[in-house]
Chains A and B, each alone.
Chain A
Amino acid sequence: NAGVTQTPKFQVLKTGQSMTLQCAQDMNHEYMSWYRQDPGMGLRLIHYSVGAGITDQGEVPNGYNVSRSTTEDFPLRLLLAAPSQTSVYFCASSLLAGEGEQYFGPGTRLTVT
C-alpha cells in the first residue's frame, strides 16, 4: 500500500493563477479531507468528503474547490491563488469519518507570490 499520496511536493504560484493539488489513497477509505497548516494555527479543515460524489465545507473553504468522482482521488483546486493561500496542504483519509484514525499524506508546500 502506498497509503496517501500527494503531488506536487512543492509549488510556487503567482497571484491569480490556478492549480490543482492531487491526492490519492489506495486503502479504500470512504472519508477524505484537506487541511492547511499554518504556523501557530495547527491544521484547519478546508473541505472533506464522506464518499464518492459527496463533499462538504470545512472551517476555511473560501478560495478552494473539491470534487470526489472516485473513492481513490480527492483533488483540491485553487481557483485564483492569493498570497494568503501560502501554506502547507495535507490530505488525509480514514475508514470511518467519526472515529477512525486519519492517515495523512506527505504534504504540498505552496507559495503564492
Chain B
Amino acid sequence: AQSVSQHNHHVILSEAASLELGCNYSYGGTVNLFWYVQYPGQHLQLLLKYFSGDPLVKGIKGFEAEFIKSKFSFNLRKPSVQWSDTAEYFCAVNDGSWGKLQFGAGTQVVVTP
C-alpha cells in the first residue's frame, strides 16, 4: 500500500525565515501530488498540485514545491514566511485510482513575530 511521510511534525520559525517541508511517498507508478493547508479553525485548502510537466510548481501565497521523481519526494518551500502562514500543512498523493488520496500525518508550522 502506498504511504506518505512528512519529515517534521512540528516546525517553529521566525517571520522572514525560509520554510521547507519534506514529503516522501512510497509508490512506484504515476502519481498526482498535492499540498493542502489548514489554517487554525478552518478547513483544508489546496496550496498547489502536480500532475505532470514542469516539476517545479507554484501555488498560492508564494509557496512552491519541487517534484523529484528519483527521490519520490515533493517538498514544499517558501522563501520568506509570515505570521499568517501559521497552519498545518498536509502532503497528499493520489495514484490516479478512484478515491485513493493518501495524506501524510501533517506538519504543524508556527511562525513567531
A105 touches B43 (CB 8 A): yes
Docked complex: B11-40 residues within 8 A CB-CB of A = 32, 34, 36
Docked complex: A10-42 residues within 8 A CB-CB of B = 31, 33, 35, 40-42
Work out how many contacts link A and B, with CB atoms closer than 8 A: 61
Q: Which residues from A are CB-within-8-Å of B105? A: 40-42
Q: Which residues from A are CB-within-8-Å of B46? A: 101-102
Give the CA-CA distance A50 to B100 in the complex, in Å: 11
Chain B CB within 8 A of A97 CB: yes
Chain A CB within 8 A of B97 CB: yes
A42 touches B104 (CB 8 A): yes
B42 touches A97 (CB 8 A): no
Counting chain B residues whose Cβ lies within 8 A of the other chain, the interface size class is: 20 to 34
Interface mask (B75-105 → A, CB under 8 Å = 1, otherwise 0): 0000000000000001010111111111111
B103 touches A107 (CB 8 A): no
Chain B CB within 8 A of A78 CB: no
* Given A40-B105, A90-B44, A45-B99 contact (CB < 8 Å): yes
Q: Which residues from A are CB-within-8-Å of B100? A: 45
Residue of B nearest to A50 (CB): B98
Q: Which residues from B are CB-within-8-Å of A45? A: 99-102
Q: Which residues from A are CB-within-8-Å of B45? A: 104
B99 touches A48 (CB 8 A): yes
B103 touches A99 (CB 8 A): no
A58 touches B96 (CB 8 A): no
In the assembled complex, the CB of B8 is this many whole angstroms from the nearest CB of chain A, namely 12
Binding site for B on A (CB under 8 A): 31, 33, 35, 40-45, 48, 50, 56, 58, 90, 92, 97-99, 101-102, 104-107
Binding site for A on B (CB under 8 A): 4, 6, 9, 32, 34, 36, 42-46, 49, 51, 90, 92, 94-106
Nearest first, the 4 closest Cβ-Cβ pairs linking A and B are: A48-B99, A42-B103, A98-B96, A43-B103
